[in-house]
C-alpha cells in the first residue's frame, strides 16, 4: 500500500477547504494517491449532515457552515490541529467504522506520547480525558473530535485535536450534540503548546495507524 501524500496547508478558510475536498473526491480515479491535509481554520462552527439547530446555542459573530460530514456541530479555530483524510477505503480494505477507530487510536497514541491518558467512547466518537477535581471527583472532557464522509468508497473530512486554542466558543454550542460537555486541550494538560510539534506527532501516528 502506497504512503499517502502529506500536505501542510497552514491556516485555511473552512468553506474553501470543504469545497476542495469534495472536488478532489469527486474527480479522483482508481489510481489517485491518497492524501492527508494538515491545517488550521479561522474561527468557524461546522454543522454535520444530521446536525440539529438546537445544539447551536449562541454563535455570535462566528459563522456557522453546513457540511456533509457525519456528526453534530463543532468548533474550529487557530491552535487546533485539523487533519483531513482523503483515502480510498476500498483499496485499503476497510470501511468508515474502522477508519474512525484508527483516527481515535492516532489521537490517543499522540497524547500518550505527552503523558496524557485518553480514551474513546463507544457511544460518542472522539477522544476524551478524565479531569480530576479536588476531593477526588472526576469529569470526562473532550479533547479530540472527528467526522467523516464516504463517497464512492473514498473518505474525506477527518479529525480535530485541540492543542493551544481559545476554548470559549465551545461554550456557545453543545459540542458534537453533547449538552454540558466541556472541552480541554493538549497545552492545558502539560503537553506541547506548539501546534507544529503536535502536527508532526499526529502525522507519525496517523501513518502508523492507516
pLDDT given at position 137 = 73
Please state the pTM of the whole predicted model: 0.96
pLDDT given at position 32 = 94
Instruction: Provide the b/e sequence for 174-184 (b: ≥16 CB within 10 Å).
Output: bbbbbeebebb
**Does position 136 have pLDDT exceeding 90, yes or no?**
no
Burial class (CB in 10 A: 0-12, 13-18, 19+), 122: exposed
**Does position 50 have pLDDT exceeding 90, yes or no?**
no
**Does position 129 have pLDDT exceeding 80, yes or no?**
yes
Half-sphere exposure of 96 (CA within 13 A, CB side): 16
Mean pLDDT of the 95-113 span: 97
Residue 138 pLDDT grade (very low, low, confident, very high; cuts 50, 70, 90): confident
Which residue numbers are catalytic?
176
pLDDT given at position 2 = 82
Domains of the chain: 5-209 (3.30.930.10)
pLDDT given at position 198 = 98
Residue 56 pLDDT grade (very low, low, confident, very high; cuts 50, 70, 90): very high
Amino acid at each position: 500500500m502506497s504512503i499517502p501524500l502529506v500536505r501542510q496547508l497552514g491556516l485555511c478558510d473552512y468553506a474553501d477547504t470543504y469545497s476542495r475536498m469534495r472536488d478532489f473526491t469527486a474527480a479522483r480515479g482508481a489510481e489517485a494517491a491518497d492524501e492527508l491535509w494538515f491545517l488550521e481554520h479561522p474561527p468557524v462552527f461546522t454543522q454535520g449532515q444530521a446536525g440539529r439547530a438546537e445544539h447551536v446555542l449562541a454563535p455570535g459573530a462566528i459563522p456557522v457552515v453546513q457540511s456533509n460530514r457525519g456528526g453534530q456541530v463543532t468548533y474550529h479555530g487557530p491552535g487546533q490541529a485539523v487533519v483531513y483524510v482523503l483515502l480510498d477505503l476500498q483499496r485499503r480494505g476497510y470501511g468508515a467504522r474502522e477508519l474512525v477507530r484508527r483516527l481515535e487510536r492516532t489521537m490517543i497514541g499522540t497524547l500518550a506520547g505527552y503523558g496524557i491518558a485518553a480514551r474513546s467512547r463507544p457511544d460518542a466518537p472522539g477522544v476524551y480525558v478524565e479531569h480530576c477535581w479536588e476531593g477526588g471527583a472526576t469529569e470526562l472532557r473532550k479533547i479530540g473530535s472527528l467526522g467523516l464522509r464516504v463517497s464512492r468508497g473514498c473518505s474525506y473530512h477527518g479529525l480535530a485535536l485541540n492543542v493551544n486554542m481559545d476554548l470559549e466558543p465551545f461554550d456557545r454550542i453543545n459540542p458534537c450534540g453533547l449538552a454540558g460537555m466541556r472541552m480541554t486541550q493538549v497545552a492545558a494538560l502539560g503537553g506541547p503548546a506548539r501546534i507544529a510539534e503536535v502536527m508532526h506527532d499526529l502525522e507519525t501516528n496517523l501513518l502508523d495507524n492507516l
